[in-house]
Homo-oligomer: A and B are copies of this chain.
Amino acid sequence: MPNAEPLLIVGSIAFDNLDMPSGMFHDVLGGAATYSSLAASLFAPARVIGIVGSDFPEEHLDALRTRDIGIDGIERVAGKTFRWHGKYSSDLSSRVTLDTQLNVFADFRPKIPKGYRASPFVLLGNIHPQLQIEVLDQIDRPRLVAADTMNFWIAGEPRALGQLLERIDLLVINDEEARQLSGIQNLCKAANDIRRRGPSRLIIKQGEHGALLFDKSGTFFVPAYPLEEVKDPTGAGDTFAGALMGYMASRGASAESPHALRRAMFFASALGSFCVEDIGPKRLLRLTRDDLSSRMDGFLSLVDFGGSLALD
């Protein structure tokens, strides 16, 4: 990663209780910032902004540190860490939230350490849009700012979200969120509407069906990598966003090239495919760049049609 520049990631750090068809998993390390930073760290130095309680074991922080993830922005306060409890359907295609305990996350106000304020690449994970804006207020002229959001903020904080959209370059959301945010069923029309509100680039994730990019050069599609076994989709979207922005940060100044974001989507999809192969972030924690290289070969084969689509 000779040209890699640092990527600042803000988001939740959590304990998840995962009720899977394969069994019940308690106190699994989770949260958007966790998944995103683990994925990003394959490509570029990641710096996490988040909050944990006094119950958060040092070994989890060590796991991040070992992967060259900066944890100086992870605040530790008295109280309990954010907890989420979800239950998946038998085919893993849907899930319900059984319980959410915000705990120390309820009063989270992101503070960017001085040494992080010049981060050229910024990923604003899914938190209150007002807090996402507060992060941006503390950063010196970033080169590329991406953000995620969710149904809760789309419905409940449209004004703050509208202000955020005007200040970001790239929004990364899923298909249902795009439909809800725009009020438009058709994804192409929804994308036009959302891009008019601010972000020049929009990525719409479609889970196991891949992801679409809408930018000034048109529409681009990256498939999901077909897997024989999926164990746990938790965190796949955050992993996608983390790898996407990690790859962009790894390009440094050449992240501006027209194909950079399109290539980044393949790496993002690849990391997403690893994420779902084991419970929680287990697969990401043991993932190597060699593993990634061989999956990229598989991706090349998945989309290789010999390069020409001439009619005759």
Contacts and interface: CB of A to CB of B under 8 A. Distances in A.
Given A302-B219, A303-B221, A189 B309 contact: no
A263 B308 contact: yes
Nearest to A186: B228
A70 to B, nearest CB: 21
B189 A212 contact: no
Contact of A259 (B227, B266, B302, B306): B306
Nearest to A179: B91
Given A186-B229, A220-B305, A226-B187, A209 B212 contact: no
Interface in A169-213: 185-189, 206, 209-210, 212
Interface in A96-116: none
Contact of A209 (B206, B217, B304): B206
Nearest to A4: B312
A131 interface: no
A305 B263 contact: yes
Interface in A277-312: 289, 292-293, 296, 298-312
A100 to B, nearest CB: 29
A218 interface: yes
Contact of A303 (B206, B220, B230): B220
For the side of the interface on A, what is the size category?
Answer: 35 or more
A1 interface: yes
Given A91-B185, A301-B218, A262 B306 contact: yes
A281 to B, nearest CB: 21
Contact of A226 (B219, B289, B306): B219
A142 interface: no
A86 interface: no
A101 B265 CA distance: 48
A40 to B, nearest CB: 14
Contacts of A185: 91
A223 interface: yes
Contact of A304 (B262, B267, B306): B262
Interface of A: 1-2, 91, 185-189, 206, 209-210, 212, 217-223, 226-230, 258-259, 262-263, 265-267, 289, 292-293, 296, 298-312
Given A189-B228, A222-B305, 17 more contacts: A186-B230, A188-B228, A212-B226, A218-B298, A218-B301, A218-B302, A219-B226, A219-B302, A221-B226, A223-B223, A258-B306, A262-B305, A263-B308, A266-B309, A289-B311, A296-B310, A300-B309
